[in-house]
Amino acid sequence: MSIAACLLTPSPLSSPSSLTITPKFPTTFPLHLHLRLSSSATCLRHSRSSPFLTFCAGGDGGDINSNNNNSGGGGGNDENGKHRGGDDENAGDKNRKEAMIVLAEAGRSTESLPKDLAAAIQAGRIPGSVIERFLGLEKSGLMRWLMQFGGFKERLLADDLFLAKVAMECGVGIFTKTAAEYERRRENFFKELEIVFADVVMAIIADFMLVYLPAPTVSLRPPLAVSAGAISKFFYSCPDNAFQVALPGTSYSLMQRLGAVMRNGAKLFAVGTTSSLVGTAITNALINARKAVDKTSAAEVENVPILSTSVAYGVYMAVSSNLRYQVLAGVIEQRILEPLLHQHKLMLSAICFAVRTGNTFLGSLLWVDYARLVGIQKAHEEDTAA
């Protein structure tokens, strides 16, 4: 189709701010255009990837390539755009646009996503990389099922190897704990088998929580109620890992990162105390059964003190385990290994396996020394001398 040329003449009534071009209509059949240019804002739609994205250029120099998404006549931010509120708003807009582009390329909409994830996108709290990870994880039936649980979803979106790390920790836990117990006890290993069993049972129960609680997360939690107290608001704003990398548009103060250590410490104290109660109760039941069968062992084997052992193990997990696993997940893995090996998942998994195995073995050694230091466990030679 061809378009005939039009003979156009400017209107003499045009104002300086508005140019009106009025066509002269010939008797032939050309197509005539009426073009009006004004100083009012012209809206340009970015239609390459997503119909949701709109860039508006203002009359006073709004640049569609600028990071200031609030551009308009006169401007609202300072010339350098360094106000904290403006930066956060710009980062939120950028996150939202990235997420919408990823969804558009995948042929998805926010209505097809979980409600908490869709709300986080609308609030601009998560970038497009998180949505890409979610769409990738959703292809696996197991991952799709696990992401129905909020805690797993937040951790898988922050680290797609989270489930592999849980398997590593629990898989090697029994062997490393047992090896560490043997390293410390040597020839007394079988004489103190009941204590060894209690330690291994406590380790199995606690290993999962040691990976779960200090793991970095992508926060999808709904906002707190306005009536929430100051302490609740403070701990709500703390990250799950004190050393985790903050997402674009998010930042954590030193106090918030210290609060993450305190909050996880309180949780791990409860986990450690509970798991120790279970482990020592099972151990005492086995000791009593052994005494009933073998009368000669009644004087040699004593019941494990339940309360003191449980509290001591809770303190150990709140301090030693808490700090070691926070550093392992937030510094060694997220800040060092993943940036270097993010394109080599197999090598990354192997190194994480080695590091976590060493950390678990170290923790077992520290626990035996700590238990003897506080007096809840004694070496067999000391019992014999007494």
Predicted confidence (pLDDT) per residue in 163-204, tens digit: 999 989 888 877 877 887 788 777 878 877 777 877 777 777
215 belongs to a structural domain? yes
Task: Work out the percent of the chain whose per-residue pLDDT is above 90.
Answer: 44
Report d(CA 285, CA 303) in Å as an integer.
9
Of residues 322 and 298, more confidence is placed in 322
Lowest mean pLDDT among 23-27, 52-56, 112-116: 52-56
Does one domain contain both 102 and 152? yes
Per-residue pLDDT at 238 exceeds 90: yes
Q: Do 120 and 165 lie in a common domain? A: no
Distance CA 183, CA 260 (A): 34
Q: Of the residues 137, 158, 179, which one is the last residue of a structural domain?
A: 158
Q: So what's the pLDDT on residue 382?
A: 52
Residues 154 and 236 in one domain: no
Q: What is the pLDDT of residue 128?
A: 94
Strand order in the sheet with 8-10: 8-10, 18-23, 35-38
DSSP H or E segment with residue 56: strand 54-57
The pLDDT value given to residue 110: 93
Encode pLDDT of 100-117 as tens digits: 999 999 999 999 999 999
251 and 308, same domain (yes or no): yes
Q: Among 109, 141, 158, where does a domain finish?
A: 158
Q: What is the pLDDT of residue 379?
A: 61
Same domain, 255 and 339: yes
Same domain, 294 and 154: no
Q: Is residue 166 part of a domain?
A: yes
Name the residue range of residue 116's domain.
92-158
Q: Which residue has the higher pLDDT, 86 or 137?
A: 137
How much is the pTM?
A: 0.69
Same domain membership, residue 225 and residue 146: no
Last residue of a domain, one of 158, 180, 213: 158
pLDDT at residue 300 in the model: 59
Mind listing the pLDDT tens digit for each residue in 260-280? Answer: 999 999 999 999 898 888 878
CB neighbours of residue 133 within 10 Å: 18
Residue 288 has pLDDT above 90, yes or no: no
Same domain, 167 and 147: no
Q: Are residues 276 and 350 in the same domain?
A: yes
- Spell 33-64 as b/e; 16+ CB within 10 A means b: eeeeeeeeeeeeeeeeebebbebebbeeebee
* Closest C-alpha among 195, 142, 211 to residue 360: 211
pLDDT band at 331 (very low <50, low <70, confident <90, very high): very high
> Does residue 195 or residue 313 have the better pLDDT?
313
pLDDT cut 70: percent of the chain above it: 73
Q: Is residue 285 part of a domain?
A: yes
Are 43 and 17 spatial neighbours (Cβ–Cβ below 8 Å)? no
What single letter denotes the amino acid at residue 139?
A: K
The reply to whether 272 and 353 lie within a common domain is yes
**Whether 276 and 339 share a structural domain:** yes
